[in-house]
Amino acid sequence: MPELTIDRSFAEGLDRSDSLASVRQQFEIDPAGPIYLDGHSLGRLPKRVRERLHAVIDEDWARDLVASWDEWVDWPLAVGDRLGTALLGAAPGQVAAADSTTINLFKVASAVLARQPGPLVTDRTNFPTDRYVLQGLAQAAGVEMRLIDVERDTGPQPDLIERAVEGASLVCLSSVDFRSGAVAPMLEINEVCKRAGARVLWDLSHAVGAVPVELDASGAELAVGCTYKYVNAGPGSPAFVYVRKELQAELRQPIWGWFGQREMFVMGPEYDPVEGIGQFVAGTPSILGLAALDAAVAVLADAGIRELRRKGMALVGYASDLIEARLGEFGVVLGGPRRPELRGSHVSMHHPDAYNLGDALSKEGVMGDVRPPDLLRFGLAPAYTRFVDVWDAVDKLTALLRRNG
């Protein structure tokens, strides 16, 4: 990126040269605003998703009725394969799209614990649902729950994990920290845990769709994540679960539902799970949710995850430069790693009055979010965020801070 100039024209120039600028036109965006910097919580609506949902409703459901299940029944694995290939670095047959992140995490962690009893490990400030599920499992199984402390702005590192993993059954970590945006070194942590004999379960919720994930190449064995953030599949869209092919016959997930049953329409008296990733699907899936997810993945697949990451790093780097140059004098401290390649696609700012600043920003037409006690976050989804959006948001925040003295 050229040397920073504190002027909106600089951002306009970056937008003019943006090779992904046309991707923004594939989303429903009101020119009147708001400036939307909360894509790390809920992505914008892709136009293809609207079209796909109308097609499923008007053609499949309204016209073909129950006959549509001849196709629908395969969607959890078919959509999972497309998601895995385009965004997760996972070969076919290892990803299923179904349920929520919480349910999938419970399935996978339970399966590992049943096979290999022992302590469960996560960091004390990991995303709440991950900690809560593991705490419940540890209590039910009577095993130790190890909560480790990580540096606020760097996330889990291999040396820290190495000290905590001895004798553990499972380590559960987020690949991108939801507070700081720090990217965990997946390959190195996988290797540390493998040497110690522990499985690693990755939560990819704040990475998928913004950061290239190489599950197969990194030696990852287990992963879950949601799709309503950077994947833009809509509120409550289906989550996903990844189980490396070599582990699928070894693990038995605890929610025995008919969608994971061999010969499901025979309605037999005993549970006999299908082979492969299909056993991690339990109940009847959300067909409208899967249709939305499939269309949303197609938008990102066409853009290319490498190109999305390139732009995401440029946005993060530009935002970081502006924050330090314009907001430092008002007590705003940039959180997370300074180097864009070590960060996901959101930036974090520490300020003692973050809550009130976030509320005031929303009234000024900037939609970010806050996290207690002092964190203000801007999610810079590369598929549709412009550099001028970043400049305008920081400019409005500067004006607010100046008015507040």
Convert the pLDDT of each residue in 306-347 to its tens digit.
999 999 999 999 999 999 999 999 999 999 999 999 999 999
Environment class of 196 (CB within 10 Å of its CB; exposed 0-12, middle 13-18, buried 19+):
middle
Choice among 24, 52, 377, 386 that is catalytic: 377
272 DSSP β-pair partners: none
What's CA 24's distance to the chain center, in Å? 20
- Among 166, 126, 127, smallest CA distance to 147 is for 126
Choice among 106, 127, 240, 378 that is catalytic: 127
Choice among 48, 82, 131, 229 that is catalytic: 229
* Whole-number pLDDT of residue 95: 98
Q: What mean pLDDT comes out for the span 172-178?
A: 97
- If you average pLDDT over every residue of the chain, what do you get? 96
| Statement: residue 287 has pLDDT above 60 | yes
pLDDT band at 6 (very low <50, low <70, confident <90, very high): confident
Q: What mean pLDDT comes out for the span 374-391?
A: 97
| Statement: residue 5 has pLDDT above 80 | no
Q: In the chain, what percentage of residues exceed pLDDT 70?
A: 99
Q: Do residues 381 and 26 make contact, with C-beta atoms less than 8 angstroms apart?
A: no
What is the bridge-based pairing of β-strands 170-174 and 120-123? Answer: parallel
Q: What beta strand segments (E) does 138-188 contain? A: 145-148, 170-174
Kindly state the tokens that stand for 206. 């704040």
Kindly state the tokens that stand for 126. 């990991």
Q: Which residues contact 82 (CB under 8 A, 6 or more apart)?
A: 294, 297, 298, 301
Annotated active-site residue 396? The verdict is no
Q: What mean pLDDT comes out for the span 92-116?
A: 98
Q: Do residues 380 and 41 make contact, with C-beta atoms less than 8 angstroms apart?
A: no
Q: Do residues 384 and 27 make contact, with C-beta atoms less than 8 angstroms apart?
A: yes
Tokens 């910097």, located at residue: 37
The dihedral built from the CA positions of residue 86, 88, 92 and 94, taken in this order, carries a sign that is: negative
| Statement: residue 256 has pLDDT above 60 | yes
What is the 8-class DSSP label of residue 126?
A: S
Within a 10 A sphere around the Cβ of 7, how many other Cβ atoms? 10
Q: What mean pLDDT comes out for the span 229-258?
A: 97
Kindly state the tokens that stand for 191. 């290797």
Q: What beta strand segments (E) does 247-320 contain? A: none
| Cα–Cα dist 166/183, whole Å | 23
Kindly state the tokens that stand for 235. 């509120």
* Whole-number pLDDT of residue 404: 82
pLDDT band at 1 (very low <50, low <70, confident <90, very high): very low
Annotated active-site residue 229? The verdict is yes
241 DSSP β-pair partners: 96, 224
Annotated active-site residue 123? The verdict is no
* Whole-number pLDDT of residue 152: 83
Q: Which residues contact 21 (CB under 8 A, 6 or more apart)?
A: 15, 386
| Statement: residue 3 has pLDDT above 60 | no
pLDDT band at 366 (very low <50, low <70, confident <90, very high): very high
Q: Do residues 383 and 232 make contact, with C-beta atoms less than 8 angstroms apart?
A: yes
Convert the pLDDT of each residue in 20-29 to its tens digit.
999 999 999 9
| Cα–Cα dist 155/21, whole Å | 32
Choice among 203, 389, 392, 395 that is catalytic: 203
| Statement: residue 80 has pLDDT above 60 | yes
Q: Do residues 392 and 46 make contact, with C-beta atoms less than 8 angstroms apart?
A: no
Annotated active-site residue 47? The verdict is no
| Statement: residue 2 has pLDDT above 70 | no
The answer, yes or no, to whether the previous bond of 373 is cis (omega within 30 of 0) is yes
**Phi, psi torsion values for 335, nearest 5 degrees:** -100, 165
Tokens 């299908």, located at residue: 274
Choice among 10, 106, 178, 228 that is catalytic: 228
Q: In the chain, what percentage of residues exceed pLDDT 90?
A: 94
